[in-house]
Amino acid sequence: MTPALDATHDPQRRSWVASAQAEDCDFPVQNLPFGRFHTADDAAVRVGIAIGDAVLDLRAVDALCRAGRLAGEAAPPADLPTWLAPLAAGDLNAFMKQGPAARRGLRVWLSDALTEGSALQATLAPALRAAADCTMVLPCHIGDYTDFYSGIHHATTVGRLFRPDNPLLPNYKWVPIGYHGRASSIVVSGTPVRRPMGQLKAPTADAPVVGPSRRLDCELELGAVVGRGNALGEPVPLAQAEEHLFGLVLLNDWSARDVQAWEYQPLGPFLAKNFASTVSPWIVTMEALAPFRIPFERPAAEGGDPGTLPYLESEPNRAAGAIDLQLELWLRTASMDAAGLPATRIAAGAWREAGWWTLAQLLTHHTMGGCNLQAGDLLGTGTLSGPRPDQAGSLLELTAGGRQPLSLPGGQTRTFLEDGDTLGLRAYAQRPGARRIGFGACDGRIVG
């Protein structure tokens, strides 16, 4: 059900790309995430692999392959030209459709080629681009986007704000709750986020008014990128679900809480969430995350665990369905920028303490009615808040609905986001016996 460990995960493996050796590097040779980029002197979008502070341009690697220059000490895999062709064209979706065997095969070859002592070092070095010279775009074409609500502590805390006596609705612990979001407004890290307009209604007002949101919030989530799709009408059983997942990104589902409070009943989120969602530019593959798989144990929750229906239950999912990731929320205001102050971490937690469902369960439930997922579809986890107040993944929770402002460096406070604020998500995996890997930045600056 989960990817197996192999030589690519060896924590002693070192890359000939010197920057990949730093202890806090998000992109050592054990990671090798996929992303898309262009440069100032070439507007064509192509796929690259992050390694240290560089990007391996797979269009350039494909050209070397076609020229017969990748033989090295041994012949390259026979399938290498097939794997590289869509990547050279900037079409990561087409590569994802080739399935997990292609992804794993290319990972093994890339890992060997980028490892210290590789005979291909001199050949591949010209294919490296400085990451600072690369403009990242969305890592793939995202045709559809579904946002789940799998963080039980977030669901409980937010539910209590609206329903103090009944924070979790009766279906929550049985059904992976989700809604279909707006894929066209998903943007890559670094894209400014414009403050949305909407209908706003004060509790004591007789009628709503139209204006800019004053309770603009963030949501700390992970996004699972679908690799191989399924046919319409053919559900994906739990035992096969992870074979349909390509990897993970960070996801900030920006939320206008004042707009949301007025519009969300009876059909759920609409304008409060469709104005922007930010993702990190690098997809960390399921293979890279293999050393960090852990048993899935549901967080302690009010009312206990009622159990799981059979189609969402299996021993392999219980044994290794979770991933041990550390999650962080960072904030930097315009005043902090002007004073030369760095961003401050306002929350930190772990995924294992937040999620009521695994990724496999989310995908299986999504398809059980016959929905056909496609390569590049994005499945958001929902806000991943821990049980403690300082582990909250949104300002709504961190400030108790705006009643308890956050204190920031320089004497500022925040209840919700103001113009000029930059909100960033970070995530990394770190365990004894494995090399630390990370996801890179997922940042957005609020503009009026």
Q: Could you give the residue numbers annotated as active site?
A: 154
> Which residues, 6+ apart, have CB-to-CB distance to 414 below 8 Å?
331, 333, 395, 399, 405, 406, 408, 421
Q: Residue 255 in contact with residue 272, Cβ under 8 Å? A: yes
Helices 58-66/80-88 angle, 10° precision: 130
Cα–Cα distance between 230 and 90 in angstroms, integer?
23
Q: Residue 251 in contact with residue 223, Cβ under 8 Å? A: yes
Helix (H) or strand (E) holding 64: helix 58-66
Give Cα 48 to chain centroid, integer Å: 18
Q: DSSP 3-state assignment of 235?
A: coil
CA-wise closest residue to 438 among 352, 330, 328: 328
Structure tokens at 151: 């963080």
Query: In the Cβ-directed half-sphere of 273, how many Cα atoms lie within 13 Å?
Result: 23
The pairing of strands 197-200 and 193-194 is unpaired
- Dump strand ranges (E) for 324-436: 326-332, 344-350, 378-380, 406-407, 413-414, 422-429
Give Cα 300 to chain centroid, integer Å: 24
Cα–Cα distance between 361 and 117 in angstroms, integer?
42
